[in-house]
Amino acid sequence: MVKRLIATALVCLPALAAAQALPPEIAASGTLKVAIVPNYPPMEFKDPATGRLTGFDVDLGEALARKLGIALAWQETSFDQMMPALATGRVDAILSGMTDLPTRHDTAGFVDYLRSGPQFFVRKAREAEFKDMASLCGRSVGASRRTSFPREIAAWSDAHCGGNPIKFVGTEGSADARTQLRQGRIDAAVQGNETLPYVMGLEPGAYVAVGTPIALQFTGVALPAKATGLQQAVAGALDALIADGTYRALLAKWQLGDNAVDKATLNAGK
């Protein structure tokens, strides 16, 4: 019994330290204002039956809040407005499948909680045309223009396609890319490999992945760049969730087990 109590106490220590590290204004209000764009399942989306926010990020955010002893006030916004809202203080954090990129570090510090990578995929009906990644050279490939995917697709094409480069087609998000793929307007699409198992589960037999991810990315909770205390508090809460098994349980719930991190890191995106 004593050993069990000691083990429980050791698991709780990171959460207690995280809560104590909260900035005074956050601790006083008891609420963290968090920006979210609910259009990226399984990370965040609206439950079709209830209209309520759901997804891995929502579950993770609520779990982090419990460790910190505060509440979350989700604020739905557009992708383009998230970083300005963080910079001006309209929100305290962004938890919405946001990639930790060095170009964002002037505005935000990232507590990284997921690792993933952009993945090529095609319609199952055309699988025979794409036996390997080299078969994508010279083809039209769509991906959200608002992500890092265009740059990463271009880098992969430059490295592997020589004089027969991929023809990139910018889309208005991953859903638009899949629509264009179904309509035959593009040959292949790219989105984060953290979303593909979920998407394929919604449309069984519709898509097939090609090759392996073309880059490594970290997804993080974006917090104001100068709010180092808040960053450390959230990192401590994440480590506590990893230690007590909650993090792994949430990953399993949303089919994200392959995207786990071993511990919280700050600004690990390259």
When the pLDDT of each residue in the chain is averaged and rounded to a whole number, the result is: 92
DSSP 3-state of 176: helix
Per-residue H/E/C for the chain: CHHHHHHHHHHHHHHHHHHHCCCHHHHHHCEEEEEECCEECCCEEECCCCCCEECHHHHHHHHHHHHHCCEEEEEECCHHHHHHHHHCCCCCEECCCCECCHHHCCCEEEEEEEEECEEEEEEHHHHHHCCCHHHHCCCEEEEECCCCHHHHHHHHHHHHCCCCCCEEEEECCHHHHHHHHHCCCCCEEEEECCCHHHHHHHCCCCEEEECCCCCCEEEEEEEECCCHHHHHHHHHHHHHHHHHCHHHHHHHHCCCHHHCCCCCEECCCC
Q: Has residue 15 got a pLDDT over 60?
A: no
Alpha-carbon distance of 106 to 35, in angstroms, equals: 18
Residue 40 has a pLDDT of 87
Angle at 69 between CA 94 and CA 22, to 5 degrees: 65
What does the pLDDT look like over 33-51, one tens digit per residue?
999 999 889 999 999 999 9
pTM given for the model: 0.81
pLDDT band at 5 (very low <50, low <70, confident <90, very high): very low
pLDDT band at 114 (very low <50, low <70, confident <90, very high): very high
Q: Which two tokens stand for residue 95?
A: 């938890």
Cβ-proximal residues to 197 (8 Å cutoff; 6+ apart), any chain: 255, 256
Q: What is the mean pLDDT of residues 93-100?
A: 96
